[in-house]
Structure 1
Amino acid sequence: MNNRTWRSTTVLAALAVPILLTGAAAAAVAAPAHQQSRLGITTVSNPRPDLVSGGQVLVRVTPPGARSAREVRVSAGGHDVTQAFHSEPDGSLLGLVSGLRTGFTDLVATAGHDDRASVRVVNHAITGPVFSGRQQKPFYCETTAFGLPPATMPLCSAPTQVTYQYKSTAGKFAALADPASRPADLATATVGGRSVPYVVRVERGTIDRAVYEIAALADGPATPSPFTAAPGWNGKLVYTFGGGCNSGYHQGAGTGGVLNDLFLGQGYAVASSSLNVLDNNCSPIISAEAAMMVKEHFVETYGPVQHTIGWGGSGGAIQQYDIAENYPGIVDGIIPGVSFPDPITTAGPVADCRLLNRYFANSSFTDAQKLAVAGWNAYSTCVSWDQTFASRATATDSCNSAIPVAVRWDPVTNPHGVICNSNEQFANQLGRDPKTGFVRNTLDNVGVQYGLKALQAGQISAEQFVSLNASIGGLDYTGKPVAARSAADPKALDALYRDDIFNSASQGLASTPIIDQRTDLDFAGAGNDIHTSEWSFVVRQRLLQATGTAANQVIIANHATGAEQAAASAYELDAMDRWLTAIDRDRSGRSAAAKVIANRPRELSDGCYVSATQRVQEKLTYPSSGQCGALYPVASNTRMAAGEGLAMDVLKCRLKPVDFGDYPVRFTAEEKADLRKAFPEGVCDYRKDGVGERAAGGVWRDYGDRS
């Protein structure tokens, strides 16, 4: 078989999810053409035939060993489309079937009178949605930010444009009007041992209401074909994801970036879209849909992909972890940088920091005590969380400039206006609170004992502990600090666990190669940064709890210097490519998860960069240990400092009565009364599962509304 396809079929089969191909159909695709006993037909550009978009699909027909490809006939909806198919070196036929109507079409292949195979394709509009559910409205267009013509709301469609860039011998990208020209300062790239002109074809257009970008080396102005290998393309794709986290309602003015020398210079194609940037819409589900649709278009333009590598940091890492977990096969291996597990888990410490900063502003806590309560290596992390992201929990404080002020929510003048709250993108999953009109609340700090570990360590007094917890309060549904603690909506909790929006690492991640790129930003010297290192270990702990192993996740730390980051990135990309290539070639009967672990390159392990030229290989642990632990100490965060475990898998804790025998200090009678008042229902019991906690309900969830 030609391996240049998505590997989602094997991933999903291993997860026992009836999504694509099972049994004889899967075996037919996996075996070389001469070994097959029956005719086979599969969709290549999107291995989910029920989720095709844009009116076309790349299809592979595999004749049985006794049949010739010349005997094969293919029809779509009863119309002969055989002429669209081309013979491949492995004996199969590859064809781009176009003109699909919205809805289902049966593709049928026949060979002679007695051999027949079919697949039902369900086509969706190129503007979406496919599985993400009802689209946000209003939706403001930003096509002009990409040099595309102005577009009309809410679909924001624009014609596709192709431009060219070249890399100069000075190492810079520059516009190239004529792709056939060869500027005097044109650099070359080496792809597969062959030197090629460093000219890049850049395609921009709109898919799923987002602006997408595709970049790949090009040798002249020829249009790429799915049937002919593009000069300079190594057959592999890097899909980039951008950071941030915000509510949406606009198209976005940037993507994860495609003009990247690390990728293009080795022959990788690069793709992304504006809805693969969480700051444009903080929904990994919408991001998964956009990535699926853009990748489908890429395959229909360039041909089958050997494997796809995810790349991006912060919110870009969230998307990789969450897409691999819930929509496996869109990306085959992931390289998340400065990672977080998901938006929901991260939101707890973010909200905590707003509350802590507010409390500490009028308290007697020393800087050392503030740090002990917060848990991080530097309290500036909490300051930064408050300054940069706590506004995302409010109704309007983080509205993008593309959203006119006149349409924004106001409780009096515009109660049905646009709400710029980072939970807005989960309306289809969580629903809205009928009392407020806001998406159901996911934040909860009822029973959380802030500073518990600091109290236990003797770093704060009993009086300070009581005062902090009696006064900390919570956030109301508009994100405003209030005296009462925040309480999550039970229906929201049920959906978060059921739909695995809270990433349990129990589904697709088990079969995904992961290289967690941990650039160390924990200390204030890095610039009050929010990207702290404990989050990589949160994901690791969830993998261990869910599957009993984290052997498919490698964590590599590096300092935040250009040379080290460049060395780490180059190594990690190469290692992931070798890892995926080995999995592609594995014809054993092992499960997909077992293949991932068995084919990890031998020298690829946890470790850290001591310098740009020296990488230490040792297991990274939490708490920190070894040489890497000394160089890159890992701390905790507000919830872990309040007693929650490393997995941080409790969104709303179960409560137990306040027991003063649990504390290593003596409280006065007044302090006891104040503590009972602060925790009238009790304090968190992290020995128990969280409220609403349940097993995830399966991958590739479809939120149904096609309107």
Structure 2
Amino acid sequence: MNERTARRATLRWLTAALVATLAACGGSGGGNGAVWTPVQNSTPADPGQIPMPLAAIQIRTTSNRADLVSGGDVTLEVVLPSGAQASTLKVAVGGRDVSDAFATAADGRITGYVSGLVDGENVVSASASGARAASLAVTNHPRGGPVLSGPQITPFFCATPQPQAATSSTPATAPSGLGTVAVDAQCNIATEFKLYYKSTAANCALGLPDPFPAVNFAATTPPALPAPNSNNCFKPYDPAAPRPGDLATTTTDAGATVPFIVRVERGTLNRGIYDIATLFDPTRDWTARSPQPQWSGKVYYPFGADTGQPRRQVRPATNWPTGADVIGRGYLWVANSMTDSGANSNRLVMAETVMMMKEHIAETYGPIRYTIATGCSGGAINSNVANSLAPGLLDGVIVTCTFPDQETTGIEVSDCAWLVEAYAKPAWSALMAGLTPAQIDARKGAINGHPDASACNAWFNAFGGVSKPGIYTTRFVDASGNIATGASTNNCQLPASLVYSPTSNPTGARCSGWDWSASIFGKTADGSRALITRDNEGVQYGLSALLSGAISAEEFVTINEIVGGSNGDYEAQPARSVADSGALGIAYRSGLVASGRQMAGTAMIDLRGYDDSSMPTPGGASSAYPVHHIWRSFSMRERLDKSQGDHGNHVMWRFGRNGLSPSPALQREALDTLDAWLAAVGADTGSAPLAAKVRSHKPAGASDFCLLSSDATQSTRITDMAVCEQDPFLKPSRSPRQVAGGPLAEDILKCALKPMDITRYHGLLTASQQARLAAVFPNGVCDWTRPGIGQQDAISPAFVSREGLRALPPAPASRTN
């Protein structure tokens, strides 16, 4: 399907959904694991009409909104009015009788699971004696997607049962972990189920019992599949064989002790490969209407780290055996590679995939009580942004090494890359002549906002090329502090023949994050590339370092003269970078810039360790890539304060030892605390807004504390934040933009400009330096007291239509026939 056809199709189903809503007299979508709960409508009886007409049946989807269904199946509830005869209920889909799929549950609700939906509109109708018949338009989307995110990017290569080597026109394929090949271009592969049991063996390893190799994407020979570790904790389980003597037991949150047998469902959805792992009793059936009792109804969703946009289908980055603790407690553990940041940096596709996975769970496993997400780094971005894009998608998050979102994280990445390149230029080197390495490092740290230069060097080394759309040679700061070159690569992980080149292949695949998300941002007028938000016009690098005396006036003027920016292909240029204006509003409206207002109803626990520098923390080794800075947690909190007036849904537990990794005990406590928090919120059936419920039901243990770096046992909790701030491994640093005067929220992609005010420099600049600085900023400097260009409230949840990004309309509702 080409882009225009896909967008027209999207518009058609949304128009149909909107028409159904406007004509509605029933309700659809909502509870029992649905992503978004629509407003339920009703038609009051007309007291002037005699005799009174029969009341109408209502039809509701319960696994997702009626216009967002995917995969060809849906769970429905039929609500009969008083006086209607349930025994006469007839339900049909597109004229096909599906009445046998419906039954009355113990709570009196009439529910059913219906499969065989066609792509597009499916009319569900219901009739019964003593009631007016009704119908509901259910719009089904392909299992391979998309639902909300617009046309899928191509080319995209499917995984294979065994890894295959790269050729001149195809990349190396990743092993799928499935026994059959993809059946279509959306990489749909038949679902498989396997049983495993947890062994009682001491010191066993929580590795995959079906391991897969790391794939060298340029290799000409496929890697061999490794043999399973003989000391794996999880081993294949055969229900027809005698029970293994080393079969462990586990006690669930409900207090039931059961054999530790796990069923793993592996399949594909939205072009990603997913794993679902649950405790399972092989002697019993499991249906959505009658789940096995060891499942608590809770979903635990880990998001993978890193960030990238490879054009290949892979397995999830997080392996289900590492979730043994939560699985043993009765959680359903789920991961999909398209919700791993390293495999997919299109955050709308990520949120869409979470929605589709939750729908699948609700339709095949049963109603979801609540969903807890977790992740570090890029995984934390997904944990945070999912609820900014689609409030209510996740009920609670436990994040480590958090970033609020991708778009504003990219500000520091680009600033650091430009600054590192500037520090290597002759003009800066001349100023540093005669200074010691420590003195030079201190100046770089002051401009960067970091304790030293290592953090910006790390951004440069790890992600300096992530915005490159074509083939490029990697550049990195070596051990001597010089910029060196490395291998040739591309961010699509594709053969060179398929990748964009401005000269030899201008129509090839573009591999930047913005191009991967072109369906959201749109493209330039000539269609050559996606619109971008990267911008540093008006940014005065090192401003507060100048005012504090950390750098000289000449150093301040020089760094701003030489820092430059990048063009649309992320090639260095002397001029500053200027964002495409259309991209800025989209980044805010969509929720891609994490919105405190959108996230106010999410219970959040932030486990924050130290990664602001390569210097080692007490009790831990030094970080090779110190980019997960403490100030990011406070940035997220600042956004909540700005939008809500408080951060009552955000808890921060800081620890000053062992780098980024919280102890297993702290992680377990965070899960226990969040579990109790969400249970209390879920039990509140009052009419208060969700954000108010989250704040009023916060457990006593959900409060800020820190563990000082001097505390070798990490056992004394400090609740006086002033004491915490005195610890060098707990105190937040800043970013280059904050040093330039920007806000802690770091949510301004492009600043508004104002004329340069010479009094702002407190007489530190000579007349010549003033003139040089004015030449750098002919249009003015950043006015941080004003909102950013295009900065506005999010309209999310949103969808990509032919006209661009649009707010999702009200949910379709059933209508009286």
Q: TM-score, normalised by structure 2?
A: 0.79
Rounded to whole Å, the distance in 1 between the matches of 2:659 and 2:761 is 43
Structure 2 counterpart of 1:42: 60
Structure 2 counterpart of 1:618: 719
Against the structure 1 CA distance between its residues 514 and 615, is the aligned structure 2 distance closer, same or farther, given a 3 Å change threshold? farther
Is contact 1:256-1:276 (8 Å) kept? Answer: no
Q: How does 1:641-652 map to 2 (within 5 A)?
A: 641-652=739-750
**Which of 251, 276, 279 is 2:339 aligned to?**
276
Structure 2 counterpart of 1:183: 244
Against the structure 1 CA distance between its residues 519 and 220, is the aligned structure 2 distance closer, same or farther, given a 3 Å change threshold? farther
**Which of 668, 671, 674 is 1:573 aligned to?**
671
Structure 2 counterpart of 1:151: 182
Answer yes or no: is 1:531 the counterpart of 2:628.
Answer: yes
**Which of 213, 229, 253 is 2:275 aligned to?**
213
Rounded to whole Å, the distance in 2 between the matches of 1:352 and 1:535 is 16
Rounded to whole Å, the distance in 2 between the matches of 1:152 and 1:305 is 30
Give how far 1:142 is off: 2.1
Structure 1 counterpart of 2:594: 503
Structure 2 counterpart of 1:342: 405
Structure 2 counterpart of 1:135: 152
Rounded to whole Å, the distance in 2 between the matches of 1:4 and 1:195 is 29
Is contact 2:124-2:136 (8 Å) kept? Answer: yes
Answer yes or no: is 1:81 the counterpart of 2:60.
Answer: no
Aligned residue for 1:626, secondary structure, equals helix
Structure 1 counterpart of 2:307: 245
Q: How does 1:410-559 map to 2 (within 5 A)?
A: 410-434=501-525, 437-507=528-598, 509-524=599-614, 525=616, 526-527=622-623, 528-558=625-655, 559=657
Rounded to whole Å, the distance in 2 between the matches of 1:614 and 1:695 is 42
Letter in 1 for 2:159: E
Structure 1 counterpart of 2:21: none
Structure 1 counterpart of 2:368: 305
1:365-386 residue CA offsets vs partner (Å, 9 max, x unmatched): 6111111111123431111111
Structure 1 counterpart of 2:193: 162
Rounded to whole Å, the distance in 2 between the matches of 1:665 and 1:436 is 48
Letter in 1 for 2:39: L
Structure 1 counterpart of 2:771: 673
Is contact 1:567-1:613 (8 Å) kept? Answer: no
Structure 2 counterpart of 1:388: 462
Give how far 1:345 is off: 0.5
Rounded to whole Å, the distance in 2 between the matches of 1:41 and 1:522 is 54
Is contact 1:69-1:92 (8 Å) kept? Answer: no
Rounded to whole Å, the distance in 2 between the matches of 1:103 and 1:123 is 5
Give how far 1:258 is off: 2.8
Q: TM-score, normalised by structure 1?
A: 0.90
Higher radius of gyration, 1 or 2: 2
Is contact 2:83-2:131 (8 Å) kept? Answer: no
Structure 2 counterpart of 1:351: 414
Q: How does 1:26-41 map to 2 (within 5 A)?
A: 40-41=58-59
Q: Which moved more, 1:558-567 or 1:460-469?
A: 558-567
Q: Which moved more, 1:95-104 or 1:493-502?
A: 493-502
Is contact 2:498-2:508 (8 Å) kept? Answer: yes
Is contact 2:278-2:333 (8 Å) kept? Answer: yes
1:141-190 residue CA offsets vs partner (Å, 9 max, x unmatched): 12432322333663112111112232222343333051455322222211
Stretches of structure 2 lacking an aligned partner (at least 5 in a row): 1-29, 44-54, 162-174, 206-232, 433-438, 473-488, 617-621, 805-817
1:230-278 residue CA offsets vs partner (Å, 9 max, x unmatched): 2532211111211222234222343444331231121101112111012
Against the structure 1 CA distance between its residues 336 and 24, is the aligned structure 2 distance closer, same or farther, given a 3 Å change threshold? farther
Structure 2 counterpart of 1:52: 69
Stretches of structure 1 lacking an aligned partner (at least 5 in a row): 11-19, 26-36
Against the structure 1 CA distance between its residues 203 and 615, is the aligned structure 2 distance closer, same or farther, given a 3 Å change threshold? farther
Letter in 1 for 2:604: I
Letter in 2 for 1:176: P
Letter in 2 for 1:390: G
Give how far 1:672 is off: 1.8
Q: How does 1:350-369 map to 2 (within 5 A)?
A: 350-362=413-425, 363=429, 364=432, 366-369=440-443
Is contact 1:444-1:651 (8 Å) kept? Answer: yes
Rounded to whole Å, the distance in 2 between the matches of 1:73 and 1:276 is 39
Rounded to whole Å, the distance in 2 between the matches of 1:683 and 1:375 is 19
Rounded to whole Å, the distance in 2 between the matches of 1:377 and 1:65 is 70
Rounded to whole Å, the distance in 2 between the matches of 1:428 and 1:590 is 37
Aligned residue for 1:200, secondary structure, equals strand
Is contact 2:74-2:114 (8 Å) kept? Answer: yes
1:52-73 residue CA offsets vs partner (Å, 9 max, x unmatched): 0111101223445666754543
Rounded to whole Å, the distance in 2 between the matches of 1:168 and 1:471 is 61
Is contact 1:498-1:695 (8 Å) kept? Answer: yes
Q: How does 1:660-699 map to 2 (within 5 A)?
A: 660-699=758-797
Against the structure 1 CA distance between its residues 143 and 381, is the aligned structure 2 distance closer, same or farther, given a 3 Å change threshold? farther
Structure 1 counterpart of 2:732: 634
Is contact 1:209-1:251 (8 Å) kept? Answer: yes
1:628-651 residue CA offsets vs partner (Å, 9 max, x unmatched): 662511111111111101111211
Letter in 1 for 2:32: T
Rounded to whole Å, the distance in 1 between the matches of 2:289 and 2:595 is 40
Aligned residue for 1:288, secondary structure, equals helix
User: Which structure is richer in relative contact order (CA contacts within 8 A, separation 6 or more)?
Assistant: 2
Rounded to whole Å, the distance in 1 between the matches of 2:61 and 2:304 is 29
Aligned residue for 1:674, secondary structure, equals helix
Against the structure 1 CA distance between its residues 613 and 660, is the aligned structure 2 distance closer, same or farther, given a 3 Å change threshold? closer
Rounded to whole Å, the distance in 1 between the matches of 2:802 and 2:283 is 41
Answer yes or no: is 1:99 the counterpart of 2:116.
Answer: yes
Give how far 1:316 is off: 1.3
Count of aligned pairs between the two proteins:
678
**Which of 353, 357, 364 is 1:294 aligned to?**
357
Rounded to whole Å, the distance in 1 between the matches of 2:714 and 2:554 is 51
Rounded to whole Å, the distance in 2 between the matches of 1:88 and 1:420 is 51
Rounded to whole Å, the distance in 1 between the matches of 2:301 and 2:562 is 46
Aligned residue for 2:407, secondary structure, equals helix
Is contact 1:244-1:278 (8 Å) kept? Answer: yes
Is contact 1:618-1:628 (8 Å) kept? Answer: no
Aligned residue for 2:717, secondary structure, equals strand
Against the structure 1 CA distance between its residues 380 and 545, is the aligned structure 2 distance closer, same or farther, given a 3 Å change threshold? same
Give how far 1:216 is off: 0.7
Rounded to whole Å, the distance in 2 between the matches of 1:385 and 1:692 is 27
Rounded to whole Å, the distance in 2 between the matches of 1:690 and 1:668 is 31
Give how far 1:614 is off: 3.0
Once superposed, what is the RMSD of the aligned Cα atoms? 2.5
